[in-house]
Each structure stands twice: as C-alpha cells, then as structure tokens.
Amino acid sequence: MTAPDNAQLKREAAVSALDYVEDGMKLGLGTGSTADLFIELIARRILQGLRIQAVPTSERTARAARAHGIPLFDLDAVAPLDLTIDGTDEADRALDLVKGAGGALLREKIVAASSKRMVVIADASKLVQRLGRFPLPIEVVSFGHGTTASRIAGAVAALGYGKVPIVLREKNGAPVRTDTGNQIYDCHFGAIADAPALASRLSQIPGVVEHGLFIGIATTLLIAGPGGVETIERR
C-alpha cells in the first residue's frame, strides 16, 4: 500500500467517526496522525455550529485543537465524557489495542477510561489477527527505570515469552520523556498469546506507570480498507 493510499484510508476512517459525534457532547480527542485528521474534520463542524467540550489526550493534541479553534476543557471538570475518538497502532477483532507510538498512552488511557464509549479509527494495516507485531510501549517512572526494565523482562519470561527485546525509547541520543515526565520502554514481542494476562501482569510491576495494551476499553473499531470502512462493535 502506497503512502497516499494509506493517508486516504486514514481520512476515510476519520470521516466515518463524525457520525458518532452529537451536538453538546463531551469529547475526548486522541493523539496521532489519524486523530489529527479527525481534529481537522471536527473543527469544520464546529465552524458550522457544532457545540462540544473537548478534552485532549496529549500536549500535541491540545496544540492542534487550539490551532483549529476547538474549545478545550480539563478532564476533571467535565468527566465522564460521552465519547473518545482515537487512533491505534494495532487492533484485533476483539477490540483490544496496542497504543503508545506517540508516547501519549497514559493520558490516552485515562481519557478513554473516563468515557462512556471509545471509537477507534484506523486504516486496514492496523488490524491484526494477534497483537504484538508492533512493539508494546511501557511507560515507567525515571527513578530506577533500569531495574524496572529488568522486572518487566522477568515477568514476560515467566509468562512464557522468553527473552523479549526491551528497548529504552530515545530521540537524538536522549531518553524520550512523556508529557508527564516519564520514560518509555518498547517491548518487541512479535506476537502476544494472551493480551489480558500480559496486561494484568505488567500492571503489577513497581515502577510501571502504564502500558500500551488497551483491553476491554474500545467499543467500536472503524477500519478503512480498499472496500470501504468496516465497523466492528464490541459484543
């Protein structure tokens, strides 16, 4: 699939998500390239009279929303939200996700968990039979992050994954910092046999702030492919 085709599919998924937005909604705005397209589209609706109260999932999204004139609110002031629209790095047909390529996984999960519904928008390349092809981001506190990484390695080995490459995310030779000042390790599983079990185990590790497995959170998946947009609902 060429880059222009991929970009067009992302836009088609974002357009489809507009059908879920109603006037007066409290809306979570996701982070990433597909979410950026949705922000542009919803801004046009606001110019046409749509009223929403939006909560951004990252500083990047907040900047984009302000640039498009979208009114932003603090989550604590408006929760629970009616709906969150966000992209994903991977999704399966059970609507479990891997997110965090943009480093916003913590805020993305907090906002999604504070919403009555989460609609995920993506192109067809993001739909997989089994999660894990995309590296799983794990956000950790900076203090003792190396020892936390060792505990992560031990935990995944105990679950039968063997020696999984666990790599500190860096940019320009320095560790990447999230909006909340934490660091990220990317774990290269290749395939995740039991995503709920892995998510549960990772959440128990001291030093782990959050991981990129979104289990049982998404309610609708909009996947744009050559034949149109497929809607997958949680059963």
**Residues marked as catalytic:** 108
Tokens of 140: 């950790």
Q: How far apart are the first and last CA of the chain?
A: 30
Please work out, in degrees rounded to the nearest 5, the angle formed at the alpha carbon of residue 47 by the alpha carbons of 42 and 53: 55
b/e per residue, 18-41, with b = 16+ CB within 10 A? Answer: eebbeeebbbbbbbbebbbbbbeb
CA distance 97 to 215: 7
Peptide bond into 80 cis (omega under 30): yes
- The conformation of residue 18, written as its DSSP 8-state character, comes to G
Q: What SS3 state is found at 10?
A: helix
Query: Cα-flanking dihedrals φ and ψ of residue 28, to 5°?
Result: -85, 130
Tokens of 143: 């203090």
Peptide bond into 175 cis (omega under 30): no
